[in-house]
Amino acid sequence: MNSAHKDVSHIAKYDGANFSLWKLGLFVLLEQNDLIDVTTGVFTLPEQAGEEIDEDIEDGIEDWRRKDVRARGFILSTTELSQQRLLISCTTAHQMWRTLSAQHLEHAADNRLDVQARFYSY
């Protein structure tokens, strides 16, 4: 836990309002740890074809799971509790990323409409 805390201590925690700053720090951290592809959905969970056990696919599944767990840990440790509540039903780092991105885009659109309304009412 101490080393994980040290790894993310320089990243501003996502509080619902600082998405761009948080994303910058998180993505650098994920790239440094070779976890960006599992988070963005480029590297997906390999699937077994049929009932035969393929050693290469088993290794790929284990690699994906290990990376996914680490990426989820980094995402959780760089988000405030209020944002973590949004992630309770997420089972992968990619789902977490999509959830937080969608929430940010929703708030950004709301803010833009609010600014436009205030502008036109001036």
Question: Does 115 score more than 90 pLDDT?
Answer: no
Phi (first) and psi of residue 80, to 5 degrees: -70, 160
Instruction: Output the pLDDT for position 110.
Output: 47
- Domain membership flag for residue 1: no
Place of tokens 């948080």: 22
Q: What is the pLDDT of residues 42-83, one digit of tens each?
A: 999 988 777 777 888 899 999 999 999 999 999 999 999 999
- Domain membership flag for residue 104: yes
Question: Does 121 score more than 90 pLDDT?
Answer: no
- Global pTM reads 0.79
Domain that holds residue 104: 13-121
Q: What is the pLDDT of residues 1-31, one digit of tens each?
A: 445 545 888 899 999 989 999 999 999 999 9
C-alpha Rg value of the chain to the nearest Å: 18
- Domain membership flag for residue 65: yes
- Domain membership flag for residue 3: no
CA dist., res. 57 & res. 103, Å (int) = 34
As for how many domains the chain has, the answer is: 1
Instruction: Output the pLDDT for position 47.
Output: 85
Instruction: Output the pLDDT for position 2.
Output: 46
